[in-house]
Amino acid sequence: MAAGRGRVALVHHWLVTLRGRERVLEALAGHFPGADIFTLVCDEGRMAQLFPGHRIHTSPLQRLPLATRWYPRYLPLFPWATERLDLRGYLLVISSDAATMKGVRTDPDAVHICYCHTPMRYIWSGYETYLRAGGFLARTALPALAPWLRGWDYEAAQHVSHFVANSHTVAERIRRYYGRESTVIHPPVDTGYFHPSSGQERDDSYLVVSQLVPYKRMDLAVEAFNRCGKQLLVIGEGSERRKLERRARANIRFLGAQPRDVLRGALQQARALIFPGEEDFGIVMAEALACGTPVIAFRRGGASEIVTEGETGVLFEDQTADSFLDGLARFERTRLNPLAMRTSALRFSRQRFIQEFASFLDAILAAKRFPAVTGLSPVETVQAAATDGP
C-alpha cells in the first residue's frame, strides 16, 4: 500500500547528520509544509525536531543493525532499498540526492525533480579516491560492485523528469555520467544566522570545518601547517581523525564536532577558512564569507564559483602543500574587505534559493499541464494540496 495520497513527496538519501545537504531538504520542507519525507535511514531522535509536521518514511535498511551508523556498509543494498520506498499517489516528487534516491519508483504521470548534490561519488568522480583509501573489504568489493551500480544509477537517472544541480561542477558531472542536462540552483545559506561579529577581534588562527575523510584532503592541510607552523583549528569528525592527529604538530588542534553556535563563533574569529578539497559546492565557504571571513581554497569544484580571487579569498592551483603555501603567502600579502565578502555571500541566501526553485517548478509544472486551481500558480496549488493532506 502507498504511504499516502498527498500531492508532494520529498526524498533524501539519509537523515543522520545535519550538514549542507540536509539544509537543502529543510528549506524544501519549509516550502511544502505538508509533504511526506522518504529516506533510506533516519536518526529519528535528531530529525523529528528539524522537520516538525512531516511524516518521515524509511526504507527496510532502517531495520538493519546500527543502521544510522553503519549505513555506508550497506551500499550494495541501496538500490534494492530505494526501490522499496513506495511513492505511488504523489504527483510531485522532489529528491535531494547524492546516492540512489533518483531511482525511487513513482507513478508514470508523476513529475520527479532531482536536486542532485553530486552523482554517487564512490562509483563516479571519487571512485579512485575511495578505492585507494578503503580497507581490504572496500578494495576487494568495490571493483566488483561498481560496474553494476553504475549501470543501475545511469538507468535510474533516465527516469528523472528534470535535474537541478547545486553547482556548475555538478551540472557537468550530470552531463558526463548521465547524459542529462540540468538547471543550476545553488543551495541555501543561512545568511541571517551566519553574519560578522560586532566588536569581536579576530585571532591569528586559521580554520578548517570538514568531515575528516580522504577526499576532503585534510592530509594536505596538516602537511602544510606542519611546515609553516601557523595555528590551525580543525572542527569535524571522520574516519581519518586519528591518523591526522598522529601526524599533526602542536600548532594544529582538533576540536571534533561542534554545535552550530560554536561553529559560527569560530568562523567569525578565524583569520581565514582553509578548504583544501574539491567539493561539489562547499556550503561552509559561503557561510565563512557571510561572516566576513575570507577563504583559501583549491581552485576546483564549488570553490571556483564561491570564492573570487583577490576579493573574497585566494585560490591555489594544485593539491600539494607547496601550492597551498604559495596561496597562503599571497593571502597574507593581500588586503581584503569583509563587507565585500558579506555582500558576495548574500547571493546564496535561503530566500534566493526558494525564489529560484519555486520559479523553476512553476515553469516545469505549467509546461506539464499540471492540475491547477484558479488564481494559484502550479506550485501554490501543490503547496495547498500537500498542506491539506491526502
Provide the pLDDT for residue 367.
Answer: 81
User: Whole domain around residue 361: which residue ranges?
Assistant: 8-188+349-388
For residue 230, give Cα distances in angstroms to 226, 233, 245, 385.
8, 10, 16, 56
pLDDT class for 379, splitting at 50, 70, 90?
low
Domain of residue 297, CATH code: 3.40.50.2000
What's the domain count of the chain?
A: 2
Tens of pLDDT along 30-43?
999 889 999 999 99
Are residues 236 and 111 both part of a single domain? no
DSSP 282-338: -HHHHHHHHTT--EEEESSTTHHHHPPBTTTEEEESSSSHHHHHHHHHHHHT----H
Question: End-to-end alpha-carbon separation of the chain, Å?
Answer: 14
Tens of pLDDT along 152-185?
999 999 999 999 999 999 999 999 999 999 999 9
Instruction: List 38's β-bridge partners, or say none.
Output: 11, 57
Are residues 287 and 224 both part of a single domain? yes
Pairing between β-strand 232-235 and β-strand 252-256 as defined by DSSP bridges: parallel
pLDDT class for 49, splitting at 50, 70, 90?
confident
Tens of pLDDT along 269-290?
999 999 999 999 999 999 999 9
Say how far apart CA 24 and CA 27 lie, in whole Å. Answer: 5
Kindly state the greatest CA–CA separation across the chain.
Answer: 66
Are residues 366 and 276 both part of a single domain? no
Domain of residue 95, CATH code: 3.40.50
Provide the pLDDT for residue 370.
Answer: 62
- Output phi, psi for 165, to 5 deg: -105, 145
Segment 180-200 shows an average pLDDT of 93
Are residues 84 and 231 both part of a single domain? no
Q: Are 53 and 34 in contact (CB under 8 A)?
A: yes
For residue 4, pLDDT over 50 is answered with: no
Provide the pLDDT for residue 62.
Answer: 96
To the nearest whole number, what is the mean pLDDT of the chain? 90
Say how far apart CA 83 and CA 104 lie, in whole Å. Answer: 5
